[in-house]
């Protein structure tokens, strides 16, 4: 019965995606409605996850689809930190359609229902899955910020006459926020991977494709931080690195997990 | 009370005429006081684009004549250029003015403060208090719910807005002025209002650079030293009268290599241009010349006009509310008189029946009081509702007169 909560979440996120599109064309009411859609949808999704956790007495998102559902919640939660502010509504145009689509994929994979209980311990799942997903959510937000940076920079380079008609966050702010988000997310991924490797060594399992690509993802984001701080890579170049990192995040989240969870 | 507006603006009179009827604050206060003498109300709104008298009086024609005479006294020729509006039309005009919809640049924000100042200096009571408060509310609402005032309307404010698009908050951002003329100064002042810091003033003549730098608390530089400061500056504003480029792309490229990815905005306000257009191709450099800025301003003004359509509907709704309120001023006394008369009759009839009621105990007496009051209320409920509805329509005054006539409500009750 609680899984019926999926539908209001999808409606809210879908409404937000459409609302942000409307706001991009004509700023105002559509943007405000979209922001409320995100807030309400996220609260309902929180309730859905809480019901799942209570029913399973632990961490029921160890499956691929379940973790995808949790990932969507983390992404939207991270977006909510800034997304409700007017200049950041354009960010919603990137984040909310992705969130709504991933939610549908999670549903199709059974991730919004309660599946079979994982044989892993709750502590391991919270540390490994929770930390990795939280980091990926942060990277997704950083990629969205970087995408918005590239869009805004392109308008400046093209000297678009409409540049002052559509309020957007400044280049410096977007660059700074993306950098800060990655700075917080990378340690979470590092810890999540470390916990996974400890369990891998302990159980004598072998390294699969997902582990390899996750390590590659870590390398790209670590390079992002190093290049920013040591080589002064900011702005456009940093944004391209962030988008490359995000492509790996999507690969890890959608294409490769089947073998890992099996 | 009737609301009367008499005035002239940039739509109706050239500057030569407007300046002759322009009033400073004290003159405006004095004129409003004079027009309101004898129990009326008056506000004088005088800006560089308009001089308007808002006057409330019992007789609209006489009030209008007095206002016209007051302005004609300042300049007889202005009479031909005056507009005269009454009640709803006058309120709608004021609301449009407060919202910036009647301004030379649609949506300009200064007018709202000018309307507030005029209101505070005026002699006001019920009618003008209401219409001015509602005008200020309409002005704020338009600015909150539309983007009419968000975009810049001049080249220098567009330059400052572009700086905000690149850096966000400009507080503490270092500005390098290249050229120490009027245009540089104007652009600098616009950036200063956004709390940017004028760090350097470079000029071919160092004396002039020193003079401007002193005013802004900046460091004066000869043009040859610009390259050194390009590493630390965030915004470069150039407006010299040099015949060629003051800064070429190679010089900027050398500085960019030391900036560690920090963005650099360059504004070229000079004709012929001071900054090599190839600078715009460098990573992290954004160069806008005067043509770019003028195109942006033209676009934002077009955007303001689109937003103005939304603002008009907000203003119309507010004017409609005022109209309903003003109409109720005619009806409310009639309703009050009608209810008072009915209550008077009820009490008189109860007194007449005192002999019969004397035999009733306290509880029964209260029941009779309550029943008669309910009968009166029920009888008057529908006429009251209909009168209020009529007040919202154009025939409120006619209904009020009809009620007074039908129920014989005395002159003293008007």
Q: Which domain holds residue B233?
A: 155-283
Q: Do A235 and B150 touch (CB under 8 A)?
A: no
Residue listed under structure tokens 């200020």: B136
Asked if B301 is an interface residue toward chain A (Cβ–Cβ < 8 A), one would say no
Domain tally for chain B?
3
Residues B97, B18, single domain; the answer is yes
Is B393 within a domain?
yes
pLDDT attached to residue B394 = 62
Q: From CA B13, how far away is CA B161, in angstroms rounded? A: 33
Active site residue B44: no
pLDDT tens across B27-69, in order?
Answer: 999 999 999 987 889 999 998 889 999 999 988 999 999 999 9
Non-local (6+) Cβ contacts of B39 within 8 A are none
Do B232 and B363 reside in the same domain of the chain?
Answer: no
Indicate if B69 and B184 belong to the same structural domain. no
Cβ of B261 and A238 within 8 Å?
yes
pLDDT of the residue at A59: 67
Q: What is the pLDDT of residue B354?
A: 78
* Partner A contacted by B166 (CB < 8 A): yes
| Max Cα distance, chain B (Å) | 112
Q: Are B100 and B42 in contact (CB under 8 A)?
A: no
Binary contact (A167, B296; C-beta < 8 A):
no
Beta-bridged to residue B360, according to DSSP, are none
Residues from chain A that touch B283, judged by Cβ atoms under 8 A, are 235-237
Residue B193 and residue B238 share a domain: yes
Does B163 share its domain with B94? no
Judging contacts by C-beta atoms under 8 Å, the chain A residues touching residue B152 are 164
Query: CB-CB: which of A28, A168, A170 is closest to B167?
Result: A170
Per-residue pLDDT of chain A (262 residues; tens, 9 = 90+): 667 888 899 999 999 999 988 887 777 788 889 999 999 999 999 998 888 878 766 666 667 777 888 889 999 998 888 777 777 778 888 889 989 998 888 888 766 655 555 556 667 777 888 899 899 999 999 999 999 999 999 999 999 988 887 768 899 999 999 999 999 999 999 999 998 888 888 877 778 888 888 999 999 999 999 999 988 888 899 999 999 999 999 888 876 665 665 4
Query: Is the CB of residue B283 less than 8 Å away from at least one CB of chain A?
Result: yes
Q: Is B313 part of a structural domain of the chain?
A: no
Residues A218, A189 contacting (CB under 8 angstroms): yes
Which one-letter DSSP state was computed for residue A207? P
Instruction: State the pTM of this model.
Output: 0.68
pLDDT the model gives residue B378: 93
Give residue limits of the domains in chain A: 1-119, 120-262
Whether A28 and B145 lie within 8 Å, measured CB to CB: yes
How high is the pLDDT of residue B352?
Answer: 85
* Interchain pair A156, B292: CB under 8 A: no
Half-sphere exposure of B214 (CA within 13 A, CB side): 6
Q: Nearest by CB to B292, from A159, A171, A232: name it.
A: A159
- What is the per-residue pLDDT for B285? 95
| pLDDT tens string A60-69 | 666 777 788 8
Q: Cβ of B298 and A169 within 8 Å?
A: no
pLDDT at B76: 92
Residues 6+ apart with CB under 8 A from A247: none
Residues 6+ away with beta carbon under 8 Å from B165: A152, A156, A163, A164, A168, A170, A171
Asked casually if ipTM beats, i.e. exceeds, 0.85, the reply is: no
CATH assignment at residue B166: 3.40.50.720
Q: What is the pLDDT of residue A119?
A: 57
Regions of chain B with pLDDT less than 50 = 413-414
Q: What is the pLDDT of residue B413?
A: 45
Which residue in chain A has the smallest CA separation from B260? Answer: A232
Across the interface, do A161 and B295 touch by the CB < 8 Å criterion? yes
Which among A28, A152, A165 has the least Cβ separation from residue B151? A165
Q: Do B166 and A171 lie within an 8 Å CB cutoff?
A: yes
d(CA B153, nearest CA chain A) in Å = 11
Q: What is the CATH number of the domain that holds B84?
A: 3.30.460.30
Chain A positions in Cβ-Cβ contact with residue B295 (cut-off 8 Å): 159, 161
Q: Is A188 helix (H, G, I), strand (E, B) or coil?
A: helix
How much of chain A is in helix, strand and coil states, percent to nearest 5?
80, 0, 20
| Most B CBs within 10 Å, among A163, A168, A173, A237, to test the B interface | A163
Q: Report the distance separating Cα B381 and Cα A106, nearest Å.
A: 61
Q: Using the beta-carbon criterion (under 8 Å), do B168 and A169 form an inter-chain contact?
A: yes
DSSP symbol at B65: H
**Active-site choice (B25, B34, B39, B48):** B48
B167 domain residue, yes or no:
yes
Judge whether B301 lies within some domain.
Answer: no
In Å, how far is B136's CA from the nearest CA of chain A? 22
Contact call for A28 and B146, based on CB within 8 A: yes
> Are residues B101 and B202 both part of a single domain?
no
Q: How far is B281 from chain A (nearest CA, A)?
A: 8
Q: Do B165 and A172 touch (CB under 8 A)?
A: no
Asked if B160 reaches chain A (Cβ–Cβ under 8 Å), the answer is: no
Residues B55 and B132 in one domain: yes
B57 interfaces chain A, CB cutoff of 8 Å: no
* Coil/strand/helix, residue B267: strand
Same domain, B90 and B72: yes
CA-based nearest distance B295→chain A, Å? 6
Which residue is it, tokens 């390009």?
B230
Is the CB of residue B284 less than 8 Å away from at least one CB of chain A?
yes
Q: Are residues B124 and B196 in the same domain?
A: no
List chain B residues with CB under 8 Å of A27: 147
Residues B358, B394, single domain; the answer is yes
> Which residue of A165, A167, A179 is the best one to mutate when testing the B interface, meaning the one whose CB has the most B CBs within 10 A?
A165
**Chain A / chain B CB contacts < 8 angstroms:** 75
Task: Give me the sign of the Cα torsion angle B346, B347, B351, B356.
Answer: positive
Q: Do B134 and B161 have their domain in common?
A: no
**Best A86, A145, A160, A172 residue to mutate vs chain B (most B CBs within 10 Å):** A172
Please judge whether B300 and A159 are an interchain contact, meaning their C-beta atoms are less than 8 angstroms apart: no
Predicted confidence at residue A262, as pLDDT, reads 44
A-side interface with B, Cβ within 8 Å? 27-28, 152, 156-157, 159, 161-165, 167-173, 232-238
Q: Strands B235-238, B174-178: parallel, antiparallel or unpaired by DSSP?
A: parallel
Residue B207 lies in a domain: yes
**One domain, residues B163 and B215:** yes
Q: Is B320 on the interface with A (CB under 8 A)?
A: no
Query: Is the backbone of residue A27 left (phi > 0), alpha (psi -120 to 50) or beta?
Result: beta
Tell me if B147 and A170 make a contact (CB, 8 A cut-off).
Answer: no
Is there a contact between A159 and B142 (Cβ–Cβ < 8 Å)?
no
- Burial (CB count within 10 angstroms: exposed 0-12, middle 13-18, buried 19+), residue B197: middle
């Amino acid at each position: 019965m609680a899984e019926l909560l999926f539908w209001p979440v999808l409606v809210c996120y879908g409404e937000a995606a459409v609302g942000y599109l409307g706001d991009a064309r004509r700023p105002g009411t559509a943007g405000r409605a979209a922001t409320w859609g995100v807030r309400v949808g996220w609260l309902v999704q929180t309730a859905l996850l809480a019901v799942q956790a209570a029913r399973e007495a632990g961490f029921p998102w160890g499956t691929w689809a379940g973790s995808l559902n949790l990932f969507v919640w983390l992404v939207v939660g991270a977006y909510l930190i800034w997304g409700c502010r007017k200049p950041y509504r354009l960010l919603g145009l990137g984040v909310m359609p992705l969130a709504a689509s991933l939610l549908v994929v999670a549903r199709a994979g059974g991730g919004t229902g309660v599946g079979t209980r994982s044989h892993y311990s709750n502590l391991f799942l919270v540390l490994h899955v929770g930390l990795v997903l939280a980091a990926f959510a942060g990277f997704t937000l950083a990629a969205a910020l970087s995408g918005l940076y590239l869009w805004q920079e392109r308008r400046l380079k093209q000297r678009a006459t409409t540049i002052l008609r559509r309020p957007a966050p400044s280049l410096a702010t977007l660059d700074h926020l993306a950098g800060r988000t990655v700075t917080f997310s990378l340690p979470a991924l590092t810890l999540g991977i470390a916990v996974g490797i400890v369990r891998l060594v302990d159980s004598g399992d072998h390294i699969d494709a997902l582990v390899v690509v996750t390590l590659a993802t870590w390398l790209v984001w670590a390079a992002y931080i190093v290049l920013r701080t040591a080589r002064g890579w900011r702005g456009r170049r940093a944004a391209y690195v962030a988008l490359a990192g995000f492509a790996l995040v999507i690969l890890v989240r959608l294409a490769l997990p089947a073998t890992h969870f099996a | 009370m009737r609301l009367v507006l008499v005035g002239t603006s940039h739509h109706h009179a050239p500057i030569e005429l407007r300046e002759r009827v322009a009033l400073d604050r004290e003159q405006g206060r004095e004129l409003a006081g004079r027009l309101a003498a004898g129990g009326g109300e008056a506000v004088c709104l005088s800006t560089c684009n308009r001089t308007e008298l808002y006057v409330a009086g019992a007789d609209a024609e006489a009030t209008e004549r007095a206002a016209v005479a007051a302005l004609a006294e300042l300049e007889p020729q202005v009479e031909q250029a005056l507009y005269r509006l009454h009640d709803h039309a006058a309120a709608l005009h004021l609301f449009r003015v407060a919202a910036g919809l009647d301004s030379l640049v649609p949506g300009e924000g200064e007018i709202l403060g000018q309307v507030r100042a005029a209101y505070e200096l005026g002699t006001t009571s019920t009618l003008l208090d209401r219409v001015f408060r509602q005008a200020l509310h309409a002005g704020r609402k338009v600015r909150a719910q539309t983007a009419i005032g968000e975009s810049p309307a001049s080249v220098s404010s567009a330059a400052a807005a572009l700086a905000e698009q690149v850096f966000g908050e400009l507080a503490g951002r270092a500005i390098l002025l290249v050229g120490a003329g009027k245009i540089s100064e104007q652009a600098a002042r616009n950036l200063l209002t956004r709390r940017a810091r004028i760090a350097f003033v470079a000029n071919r003549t160092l004396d002039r650079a020193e003079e401007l730098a002193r005013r802004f608390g900046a460091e004066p530089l000869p043009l040859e030293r610009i390259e050194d400061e390009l590493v630390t500056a965030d915004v470069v504003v150039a407006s010299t009268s040099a015949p060629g480029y003051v800064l070429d792309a190679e010089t900027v490229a050398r500085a960019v290599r030391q900036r560690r990815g920090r963005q650099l905005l360059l504004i070229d306000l000079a004709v012929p241009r001071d900054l090599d257009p190839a600078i715009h191709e460098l990573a992290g450099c954004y160069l806008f010349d005067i043509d770019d800025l003028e195109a942006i301003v033209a676009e934002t003004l077009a955007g303001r006009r689109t937003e103005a359509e939304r603002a008009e509907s907000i203003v119309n709704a507010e004017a409609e509310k005022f109209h309903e309120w003003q109409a109720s001023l005619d009806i409310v006394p009639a309703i009050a008189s009608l209810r008072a008369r009915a209550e008077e009759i009820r009490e008189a009839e109860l007194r007449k029946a005192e002999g019969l009621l004397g035999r009733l105990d306290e509880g029964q007496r209260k029941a009779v009081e309550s029943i008669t009051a309910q009968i009166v209320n029920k009888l008057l409920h529908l006429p009251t509702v209909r009168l209020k509805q009529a007040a919202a329509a154009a025939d409120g005054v006619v209904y009020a007169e009809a009620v007074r006539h039908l129920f014989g409500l005395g002159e003293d009750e008007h």
